[in-house]
Amino acid sequence: MTLISKFAGAASAIALSCVAVAAQAEVLFWSTQAKPVEESQAMREQVLSGYTAGVDYQPNDGGPWITRLNAELQAGSGSIGLLGALHGDFSAMNPDDLVDLTDVGAMAKSATFNTLAKLGTDQMQYIPWMQASYIMAANKEALQYLPEGADIDALTYDQLIAWAAKVHEATGEAKFGFPAGPDGLKHRFFQGYLYPSYTNGVVRTFASDAAVTAWEKFAELWEHTNPASTNFSFMQEQLLSGDAWIVFDYTSRLAGAFNERPDDFVAFPAPAGPTGRGFMPVLAGVAIPRTAPDMEASMALVQYMLKPETQIATLRATNFFPVVDVALPDDLPASVQAAGAAIAKMSGAADANPGLLPAGLGDKGGDFNRVFVDTFERIILARQDIRTVLDDQKGKLAAIMTATGAPCWAPDAPSEGACPVE
Amino acid sequence: MTDATVLDVSQDTRKSGRFLYVASVVFLCAWVIVPIYLLLINTLSSPEAVNSFPKSFIPEFDFGSLQFFAGFAGMLTALKNSVIVALMTMVMSIAIGAPAGYALSRFDFRGKELFRLLILLARAFPLPLLALPLAVMFIQTGLDDTAFGLALVHTTLAIPFAVLITFSLFSGIPIELEEAAWTLGCTRLTAFTKVVLPLILPGITASAIFAFVISWNEVFAAAVLTIENRTLTAFLLQNLDTSPLHLKFAGGFILVVPALIFIFAVRKYLFAMWGIANR
């Protein structure tokens, strides 16, 4: 009998829930960024609470994010008012599905970013929203093993290898940490750091002799890399647990370590190779899908997101840096100060060699990353011959470039038509 | 061989048998309890303790992580939605699955074997594949973003289990029992309600729990098909993988506890079923 009464209770719950669909005036902010619970909490309470009309901020995994969006686009009506995502997410979309934002009255400071945001069309497909980059971080205990004459703010790859080797020797453990896990951002290291630093290119120089040297150097570094790195995706965890002392990762994936124990870690620029200090800025943007229920409200929210105060609040909440001109306050969280200083040193270095995120690849962006990840797995993990692997993978890369017709991006020299793999 | 040694040997085997029995029980209990206990400890630990090693086996009762979630906007609504969707899934999957199971076990009809196979097909397609057309249809029909719509999807996922479990339950009850009831004046319906139903009630509960847990754990459809009425898993789970370790533990704990409480609440029906199985 109790079971039957339970069913009765359930039935009444059903009846109740059917009534619970309320009218919504808030703009639905559908985002792939600021996903960790602390960051989404901060987005809601500190960044978006200042927007009087109300925002419903919902961060999602990439899969549900794009599925829901596509469903609304196909159905021709939707509830998503504003999209927040990385450059790569937008570039994979059909340009017609995004509203032209050229006249929205807000723009990034950097002309490069604004050009990227056009996604190869002649109108603003999204508005740059915030930026970040990849940096290095180390446990202060590792500093005593820095090779003689090495300046932590101007390391070379050779010095980094020597440093990791010394730590390895002194502690008996390989303490370099590399985010080679399934969710790790290893491909960005190859595309934006290793290749530009050794070959001054990414696509053109993919199988060059300089690239062979680059992979040899990386293989040397791998000797002193924690072998569990193939499970690491968020290096803040290994910094905090002490499994890794010297790491490379995305600024926001290191933030936790600096915020929890600010005195124990240092952040510093990525190392330099023969062709400069390669590094890659990361760009997130906001866009409006053509099915947005209230265009005016969505546009107003875009303007709000680009205001200097909002940009600083976003920086505090997410560790992503502003894209507009702002005066940074002094009381920022430890992670922001550390990462900000490291990025400033990196981009301000005399030998800085900034690369851009892959552009114009459309939905082939994942395949492009796959080429680099496969190359890494074959050369480093399976220890196959570097020359053979590069010549092998070269064909796949060339096929992607021809299929998409994407022109070269920095640091590769500009191309007419599709970027050639030389 | 004297009597004494025979006695010794049989006592020895009994002893070692008993030892094996106790050891297996302890092992099986530990299998379930240790992970949940570790989850509890880490939930009640400060961030420093969570990241340190070795771990203490006594929680330090630091409620920081849980407090964070207490202040996390929308948690309670999401919890409510989860419970509503799970209960609706439970009711609907039993209401549809049990008659199908009864039909499969009691009647012969054309295509019976095919039907049994087809019913499993609902689980053969990954949800990410189904979610897009489903969402398009839901938006067009107005089912989008309702607990009922999501419960329909979850019911589809739970029905194969409901049908197969109830099918084997009904098959376990001899048709002669029903026939005896008919001869004693029962109609087909009253024979079912007075004789069969009490016997299979525990089994129904078991498949209801399955349905509940399937709905409780499902993320992808929930994330795509609901916006305002998000379930707890859709609301929390996809944000946890990128969160700091101590919040992962606390969030995991929050996700596990309601399901545990539910299973605990209905456990006596489950034990009753196992009692039948032993007889």
Of A117-126, A264-273, A304-313, B259-268, least confident by mean pLDDT is: B259-268
Write out chain A residues lying below 8 Å of B52, CB-based.
241
pLDDT for A109 equals 82
ipTM above 0.85, yes or no: no
pLDDT in the model for residue A395: 92
Cα–Cα distance between A166 and A111 in angstroms, integer?
Answer: 43
Please give the residue that has the higher pLDDT: either A324 or A8.
A324
Question: Of A115, A119, A128, nearest to A97 (Cα)?
Answer: A119
Q: Which long-range contacts (CB under 8 A, 24 or more apart) does A326-333 make?
A: A333/A255, A333/A258, A333/A259
pLDDT, one tens digit per residue, over A61-82 is 888 898 899 999 999 888 999 9
Q: What angle do CA B20, B23, B28 make, to 5 degrees?
A: 125
DSSP letter string, A331-388: ---HHHHHHHHHHHHHHHSTTEEE-----S-GGGHHHHHHHHHHHHIIIIIS---HHH
* pLDDT for position B5: 63
How is chain A split into domains, by residue range? 25-132+282-331, 133-281+353-404
The overall average pLDDT reported for chain A is 87
Distance CA A287, CA B148 (A): 31
Nearest CA in chain A to B149: A18
Whether residue A46 lies within 8 A of chain B, CB to CB, comes out as: no
List chain A residues with CB under 8 Å of B87.
9-10, 13-14
pTM more than 0.80 = no
Cross-strand partners of A272: A156
Band (pLDDT 50/70/90 cuts) for residue A361 is confident
Best probe of the A interface among B146, B153, B238, by most A CBs < 10 A, is B238
Please report the number of interchain residue pairs, chain A to chain B, with beta-carbon separation below 8 angstroms: 132
Q: Find residues 224-283 of chain A whose CB sits inside 8 Å of chain B.
A: 234, 236-237, 240-241, 256, 260
Amino acid type, B185:
G
- Find the helix or strand (DSSP H, E) in which A287 lies: strand A281-287
Nearest CA in chain B to A45: B73
The answer to whether the CB of A229 falls within 8 A of the CB of A180 is yes
Nearest CB to B87; choose among A13, A41, A64: A13
CB < 8 Å to A20, chain B: 147, 229
A contact test, residue of B67, B141, B227, B254 with most A CBs within 10 A: B227
C-alpha–C-alpha distance, residues A163 and B89, integer Å: 58
| Residues of chain B positioned with their CB less than 8 A from the CB of A56 | 227-228
Instruction: Tell me the nearest-neighbour CA distance from A380 into chain B, angstroms.
Output: 26
Instruction: Report pLDDT digits (tens) over A132-190.
Output: 899 999 999 999 999 988 999 999 999 999 999 999 999 999 999 999 998 899 999 99
Angle at A329 between CA A341 and CA A51, to 5 degrees: 120
- Is-contact B202 B185, C-beta < 8 A? no
Q: Are strands A80-86 and A281-287 parallel, antiparallel or unpaired?
A: antiparallel
Superfamily (CATH) of domain A25-132+282-331 = Periplasmic binding protein-like II (3.40.190.10)
Q: What residues of chain A, 167 to 226, have a C-beta less than 8 Å from chain B?
A: 183
Tell if the CB–CB gap between A37 and B128 is shorter than 8 Å. Answer: no
Residue A68 burial class via C-beta count within 10 angstroms: exposed 0-12, middle 13-18, buried 19 and up: buried
| 8 Å CB contact of B128 and A67 | yes
Report the C-alpha gap between B166 and B159 in whole angstroms. Answer: 10
Take residue A258 and report the two structure tokens written for it: 């600096």
User: The domain A133-281+353-404: what is its CATH number?
Assistant: 3.40.190.10
Distance from CA of B42 to the nearest CA of A (A): 14
Q: Which residues of A touch B241 (CB under 8 A)?
A: 183
B48 contacts A70? CB cut-off 8 A: no
Mutate to test the interface with B, among A12, A61, A239 (most CBs of B within 10 A): A61
User: How many Cα atoms within 13 Å fall on the side-chain side of residue B6?
Assistant: 3
Q: What is the pLDDT of residues A1-47, one digit of tens each?
A: 444 555 444 444 444 443 333 344 789 999 999 888 888 889 999 99
Please tell me which residue of chain B has the smallest CA distance to A44. B73
**One fold for A25-132+282-331 and A133-281+353-404:** yes
Q: What pLDDT shows up at residue B270?
A: 66
pLDDT at residue A155 in the model: 93
Residues of A in contact with B146 (CB under 8 A): 17-18, 21
Residue A254 is classified by DSSP as T
User: Chain A contacts of B252, Cβ < 8 Å?
Assistant: none
Return the percentage of chain A with pLDDT > 90, whole number.
56
Q: What is the pLDDT of residue A17?
A: 41
Question: So what's the pLDDT on residue A21?
Answer: 38
Chain B residues with CB inside 8 Å of A68's CB?
A: 135, 223-224
Residues in chain B where the model's pLDDT stays below 70: 1-7, 270-279
Test mutation, B243, B268, B269, chain A, max A CBs within 10 A: B243
Residue A224 has pLDDT above 70, yes or no: yes
The secondary structure of A4-53 as a DSSP string is: HHHHHHHHHHHHHHHH------SEEEEESSS-SHHHHHHIIIIISTT-TT
Chain B partners within 8 Å of A60 (Cβ): 223, 238
